[in-house]
Amino acid sequence: MRRSSARRRRTGLTAWGFALPFTALFAVFMLLPVVSSLYMAFTDMRGADLRTTWAVNFVGFDNFVEVLADPKFQQAAGNTIYFVGVAMPLTLGIALLLAVLLNSGLVWFRSVFRVGFYAPVVTSIVAVAVVWRFLLQPDFGLVNSALGVVGIDGPRWLTDEAWAMPSLIVMATWRNVGYLMVILLAGLQGIPRDVYEASAIDGAGPVRQFRSITVPLLRPTLLFCAVITGIGYLQFFEEPFVMTQGGPLGATNSVAYEIFNQFGFGNYGLSAAMSYVLFVAIVILSYLQFRLLRTEK
């Protein structure tokens, strides 16, 4: 008995020895920042306290109360929910549609399309912003010129309170659809062909096959896509940052953008608190997605 326990301890030590480099790196570069940001969220730390980070006051939940009562944060939260609520289903839907079409063999030049849809994912947001600003330019932009041909007087997309967010939703969808398409395409190719053949013999049409075979067998892939997109979209930042600076009248200000602003103003405590509010929102959304899309046993 004693021998075996001693050996077990020795094995444990060896294991810890192997795990030490990672554990140390993890503790210093992941755990410590996480813990200190949590600590920051409960203090009144400002930019000026950088040299004396310990000499700040502990303020309990004051930062969280202030954040949740702040009308600007409430507007940003509303905008973020609007964005996630519309852009996430839209991106997933279009990505699935494209993946099915590309997988079905109906499309010519398949690889050309794959590259085409994936290109926005790897293009720098700065270049994308320039091009989209040209597209959406009110007087001579491509979108409004095209609308003008059919007699529609297009709005000032990025400076109109009602149209700014939809414009950014379309842009974000366009940017992200390629990535999900590639993942879904891989998932589709993992579904055995004979399932489709068997169902065809039973008389199932393409729509029925899609509903009863493709979607259920694609569930794990869809779950992955939904979670990844949800997390990314809740941290909606780049599009308003490069296109609208959160305007007009705060219509495209997002939670992540507000956090960025508050950090810039040196309100470290407050913005850390905002970050944790966002973190909780991400946890809740991901949990719901897991509940909704988990594979039935």
9, 18, 33, 47: which one binds another protein (CB under 8 A): 47
13, 24, 25, 27: which one binds another protein (CB under 8 A): 27
22 lies in the site for another protein, by CB under 8 A: no
Closer residue to another protein in complex, CB, 54/109? 54
52 lies in the site for another protein, by CB under 8 A: yes
286 lies in the site for another protein, by CB under 8 A: no
Q: How far is the CB of 163 from another protein (least distance, A)?
A: 12
Lookup: tokens for 194: 């004979």
Considering only residues 154 to 193 of the shown chain, the ones binding another protein according to CB under 8 A are 156, 159
Closer residue to another protein in complex, CB, 134/290? 134
Q: How far is the CB of 72 from another protein (least distance, A)?
A: 8
5 lies in the site for another protein, by CB under 8 A: no
> How far is the C-alpha of 292 from the C-alpha of 163, rounded, in Å?
31
24, 35, 107, 152: which one binds another protein (CB under 8 A): 35
Considering only residues 104 to 143 of the shown chain, the ones binding another protein according to CB under 8 A are 133, 138
Considering only residues 223 to 252 of the shown chain, the ones binding another protein according to CB under 8 A are 245, 247-250
31 lies in the site for another protein, by CB under 8 A: yes
* Cβ 51 vs Cβ 277: under 8 Å: no
Closer residue to another protein in complex, CB, 96/270? 270
Closer residue to another protein in complex, CB, 17/205? 17
25 lies in the site for another protein, by CB under 8 A: no
